[in-house]
Amino acid sequence: MTTANNPYNNLSPWKPGQSGNPSGWPRGTRDLAGDVIETTDRGKKLVDALVSIARGVIPTVPVQ
């Protein structure tokens, strides 16, 4: 595609330090990794469950 035919020519690039999402995440939003770490004994329970599955044993995992 040539520059003349590019439909994105009218878009200006982000300025240095400018966010593409100026509002960001809402306050109090937790990330998935933080939830997993907190609820799985820093990931140990999750790793144990995955090892069981790899060995062909279906683990009993409580749902919270």
pTM equals: 0.43
**pLDDT tens-place string over residues 35-60:** 878 888 888 888 888 899 999 998 88
Q: Where are the domains of the chain?
A: 28-64
Rounded Cα gap, residues 26 and 54, in angstroms: 38
Please tell me the distance from the alpha carbon of residue 6 to that of residue 26, in angstroms, as a whole number: 35
Q: Which two tokens stand for residue 29?
A: 């939003």
Reported as a single tens digit per residue, the pLDDT across 7-41 is 776 666 767 777 667 777 776 666 777 887 888 88
